[in-house]
A and B are shown apart, each in its own frame.
Chain A
């Protein structure tokens, strides 16, 4: 029996189509999760309403959402840069942790006066993350070892390394031996903007995104990154220095994650402790993928994900279970991934007796 539909490969997939499919996938994910929520015995519509309100429902809440989005933005940019070159780095979490550590070190021990302190902290964070990322990609560049596993394993190493300082030498001598450092001086804290929760880090994130966008769109290097990512063979034939590009890209990528750590520890937390990264490095992978590695879209998607987290707490206040947020994130990703398929194929009715014509352009 003939199938009623068949798949036909598209010849092109315009941006408008991609956006539509992406949005539809997200909506479908919401519906799917809504069914799961219903199965859990809650009202999905009320849940979503509460989620939305908790994330965006007031000026303060918008501010909190934006503040939560900052580390996601920077880590998202980190992952986007690397993935664009098919460097599948899972190491943002560890790079961010070391960025926190380095920035904290500067804040606690350098006694730099005035605003220079923040500049040095940010540079230290960038450097720490960048160096760690470089280390993790050296085996790939020179020996062809997969970067996926190495970056992931180094996350654990980075977090244990940071923990050593938190539980040991950098503990606040006046802090009852709790695993925190001494609080940072005022000039080591990123100032908050307009009296809200959002700190200067957001400016850093936006500027970074704009710079990256410019690099990708307008510079030779950005072009090289794209080509190497899509076809290493073509890149080699074109004479591009793949090795150097890999190292440079990872340096920038890790630097961005390190910057995320520096911003977070300086703008939000103000003290060195364990777990500041809070899975931002992993969420960033989802964000980067959903943004199709476009730096400006990363900003938007990070904001939405920040809202998800903020709204999640609000949902708890009316008795909705915690797991909804993770399930929602997972579902959105799965549906968008599945929806990708429709950008490459379309479903065409299989009419008997007719040969399928080749559709040129849409």
Chain B
């Protein structure tokens, strides 16, 4: 592989990883707070369609991003209401959000199906840094959303591990009743972090329609929401590892197709299985309780509704 091919491949891997990455970082916040949102696929689609409809109707990327954020917020509020206030089962609620989001996005997207938009986030080179050989163009000749992602990943990591706010967040997920006793509003904060997670997932979906493939197609996320969920577990709820995992997955996806082009002797269906099999293997090795290994790092209260009266 020549240098330029390598640059192209790595660059593509980063872009391909963006939707999953944003959604996964958002879900890290969710799950650290003790809420498991399986509805990422539906939220991403809602973000994607909202962004696209907005950009087609208003011609402004800023408005489009705001619309995607709004869609994420609404979905987040709906989900929070169901699982935090009404304390419904988080797994099934998440699945129903997926179903609902998929159907609703399909309906909203009807008006822009087949409508082209030339407004996308174009790559912007960062001076000096983008001149570094190989890594320069790969990392620093990307669009604004990618740069936002760099900041997001580090800021999230810093917040979760190094600030008081992050400590409180972690306590929500480990031991909400203790947090409650200490005067922390479990309900309010869970709403906050769940909505934050939703917003980020919606932005991940919007990246698809505003940067990666600027068009709207029904169900166009094709399972990215689920991969994002796998990534969260694989990364042990650490945003930095989420980024690594997302690049890996994006890279393998790109690789599978390039291998087909390169003429691999394997039937193409098996090549297409690679990303999924790799994700499973990584999941097993990263989170499995092998002999002598420490136990799962999952937030202890993950997935359980917090019911004050049963304290």
A-side interface residues toward B, CB under 8 Å? Answer: 9, 40, 88, 90, 139, 142-146, 148-150, 152-154, 156-157, 160-161, 163-164, 167-168, 282, 285-286, 289, 321, 323, 326-327, 329-331, 333-334, 337-338, 340-341, 344
Q: With A156-B276, A285-B92, A326-B102 as known contacts, state yes or no: A143 contacts B269, CB within 8 Å.
A: no
Q: With A152-B226, A341-B86 as known contacts, state yes or no: A323 contacts B273, CB within 8 Å.
A: no
A161-B269, A333-B92 given; 15 more Cβ-contact pairs under 8 Å? A139-B284, A142-B288, A143-B289, A145-B233, A149-B230, A149-B280, A156-B273, A160-B272, A160-B273, A286-B99, A289-B92, A327-B107, A331-B100, A334-B100, A340-B88
- Is there contact, CB below 8 Å, between B104 and A327? yes
- Is there contact, CB below 8 Å, between B95 and A286? yes
Q: Which of B100, B106, B276, B288 contacts A145 (CB 8 A)?
A: B288
Q: Which residues of B contact A338 (CB under 8 A)?
A: 82, 86, 88
- Is there contact, CB below 8 Å, between B230 and A153? yes
Q: Which of A40, A150, A167, A337 contacts B280 (CB 8 A)?
A: A150
Is B283 engaged at the interface, CB distance under 8 Å to the other chain?
yes
Q: Which of A9, A148, A157, A326 contacts B38 (CB 8 A)?
A: A148
Interface string of B255-297 (1 = CB under 8 A from A): 0000000000001011011001101100110011110000110
Q: Which residues of B contact A145 (CB under 8 A)?
A: 233, 283-284, 287-288
Q: In whole angstroms, what is the CA distance A218 to B28 when docked?
A: 42
Q: Which residues of B contact A152 (CB under 8 A)?
A: 226
Greatest chain B CB density within 10 A among A139, A152, A153, A285 is at: A153
Q: In whole angstroms, what is the CA distance A330 to B96 when docked?
A: 6
Q: In whole angstroms, what is the CA distance A234 to B228 when docked?
A: 33
- Is there contact, CB below 8 Å, between A327 and B87? no
Q: Which residues of B contact A157 (CB under 8 A)?
A: 273, 276-277
Q: With A149-B229, A150-B283, A337-B82 as known contacts, state yes or no: A144 contacts B288, CB within 8 Å.
A: yes
Chain B residue at minimum C-beta to C-beta distance from A163: B269
Q: Which residues of A contact B86 (CB under 8 A)?
A: 337-338, 340-341
23 CB contacts below 8 A, A to B, read: A9-B309, A142-B288, A143-B290, A144-B295, A145-B233, A145-B284, A149-B233, A150-B280, A153-B279, A153-B280, A160-B269, A164-B267, A286-B99, A327-B100, A327-B103, A330-B99, A333-B99, A334-B82, A334-B96, A337-B86, A337-B89, A337-B96, A340-B89
Chain B residue at minimum C-beta to C-beta distance from A40: B107
Is B223 engaged at the interface, CB distance under 8 Å to the other chain?
yes
Chain A residue at minimum C-beta to C-beta distance from B288: A143
- Is there contact, CB below 8 Å, between B270 and A326? no
Q: Which residues of A contact B146 (CB under 8 A)?
A: none
Q: In whole angstroms, what is the CA distance A314 to B107 when docked?
A: 19
Q: Which residues of B contact A149 (CB under 8 A)?
A: 226, 229-230, 233, 279-280, 283
For the complex formed, measure the closest distance between the CB of A295 and the CB atoms of chain B, giving whole angstroms: 18
Minimum-distance CB pairs A-B, first 8: A143-B288, A326-B103, A341-B86, A330-B100, A164-B269, A333-B96, A149-B230, A337-B88
Q: Which residues of A contact B233 (CB under 8 A)?
A: 145-146, 149
Q: Which residues of B contact A344 (CB under 8 A)?
A: 87
Q: In whole angstroms, what is the CA distance A252 to B193 when docked?
A: 38
Is B10 engaged at the interface, CB distance under 8 Å to the other chain?
no
For the complex formed, measure the closest distance between the CB of B53 and the CB atoms of chain A, giving whole angstroms: 16
Is B93 engaged at the interface, CB distance under 8 Å to the other chain?
yes
